[in-house]
Homo-oligomer: A and B are copies of this chain.
Amino acid sequence: MGVQARAAAHRLAQLSAAEKNAILLGMAAGLRSATESVMAANALDLQAAADKGLAPAMLDRLRLDAPRLEAIALGIEQVATLKDPVGDVMDAWQRPNGIRIEQVRVPIGVIGIIYESRPNVTSDASVLCLKSGNATILRGGSEAIHSNKAIAAALQAGGEAAGLPEHAIQLIPFTDRESVAAMAGMDKYLDLIIPRGGKGLIETVVALARMPVIKHYDGICHMFIDAEADGEMAAALVVDSKTQKPGVCNALETLLIHAEVAPRLLPAIAAKLAEKGVELRGDARTRQILGAAAKPATEEDWHAEYLDLILAIKVVPSLDAAVAHINEYGSHHTDAIVTADEVAAERFMHEVDSACVFHNVSTRFADGEEFGFGAEIGISTDKLHARGPMALRELTSYQYRLRGTGQTKGR
């Protein structure tokens, strides 16, 4: 599969944007015409999951129905409308000796995607890789294996009818641990692995991989209400960040509030959160202010990614203390300050070492779509190559092209 993917990657790198877009439309058509077979395959996965006693939330993540499949097809068509990053001249200059240098975006090559239950990743990931000129080797989870195979077959059939190179998208038909280990050792054939799933999966890939891995770890996101914060804005931003969709990585997990304004602002914020059913866990000072409305927070709460209607709250004496807390306990994903003080906001954004730092914006905006990228393959918590929302541009590498007239280094 690795050899085949390399050959496909070479052909993909030569395709024009128009050719790739035609292939994408073919893939969407292929998926639509395979609706019945995909749903039949999905029924097998759902039955197996029910037999295993999987939780309803897990079953829902696994379920494909006609509207969900149509949404996946529309997603593919939307990617066809995005700008192709390949061939972009990132930088160009001329040297005194007359050599002209261009730095040009090129595809990465072959990308391995290792993911867990949700079968839509089979389409989402391979489509973004294709648009950026990369071949993919997919390895999905056992729960969705029938669905994944059916989706991959539909994408391949529809794509190949429209010019998709053979082996550009390959799905590993195994879901055991050995297949992850095998991929992790394929550094000759895989230029990058992106694991999408729980911490256990990511840890396994990181420990084994010989090639670069871009990780999408957890989001322990903070919001700091500064002494100069507008109370209403702060309440609205906290409620939105925590409750608009609590189960995602850009949801708020810990609220920090400046001691000067905590007594005045916390009760109203707590009341609004209570209306939304949020459980509060506060430090000693928070509980002095809120009383029984907040349970006591322990050290574990500052490390927690609840992904649920729970919020840890800490009163801090200063901006410096807020920054120090975030840099120590956060996951370097997304952290926000609410303040009318521009100087404080700039200091916060310069000193917090996170992929996304926000001033007077809900943490929920840490998202490729909201950034205007059209689609994202995830939110990188790494610092190398891609950080934060990772979209088409981050699925490319670059190459230096030098044009001269016979320049030699010796005289």
Contacts and interface: CB of A to CB of B under 8 A. Distances in A.
Interface of A: 10, 13-14, 93, 95, 99, 101, 106, 108-109, 187, 191-192, 206-207, 210, 212-214, 230, 233, 236-237, 239-240, 243-245, 327, 345, 349-351, 353-362, 364-366, 370-372, 382-385, 387-389, 397-410
A284 to B, nearest CB: 27
Contacts of A244: 408-410
Given A109-B353, A233-B406, A397 B372 contact: no
B398 A365 contact: no
Contact of A365 (B212, B351, B407): B407
Q: So how many copies of this chain end up in the complex?
A: 2
Contact of A384 (B365, B384, B408): B384
Nearest to A93: B372
29 contacts: A10-B353, A13-B353, A14-B351, A95-B371, A99-B365, A101-B371, A187-B206, A192-B384, A206-B210, A212-B382, A230-B406, A233-B406, A244-B409, A244-B410, A345-B403, A349-B401, A357-B400, A358-B403, A358-B404, A359-B403, A360-B403, A360-B404, A360-B405, A361-B407, A364-B408, A365-B407, A366-B400, A383-B397, A387-B397
A1 B370 CA distance: 39
Contacts of A236: 406, 408
Given A13-B353, A407-B361, A385 B388 contact: no
Contacts of A187: 206
Given A191-B384, A372-B93, A406 B237 contact: yes
Contacts of A403: 345, 358-361
Nearest to A408: B240
A95 B372 contact: yes
A78 to B, nearest CB: 17
B14 A355 contact: no
Given A14-B350, A212-B382, A385-B384, A356 B233 contact: no
B356 A402 contact: yes
A361 B408 CA distance: 7
A404 B240 contact: no
A399 B333 CA distance: 10
A188 to B, nearest CB: 12
Residue of A192, A206, A237, A384 ringed by the most chain B CB atoms within 10 A? A384
Contacts of A366: 400
Given A355-B400, A365-B402, A402-B359, A212 B384 contact: yes
A398 B387 contact: yes
Contacts of A397: 383-384, 387
A239 B368 CA distance: 50
Contacts of A353: 10, 13, 106, 109, 399
B408 A362 contact: yes
Residue of A355, A365, A398 ringed by the most chain B CB atoms within 10 A? A365
A99 B361 contact: yes
A360 to B, nearest CB: 5
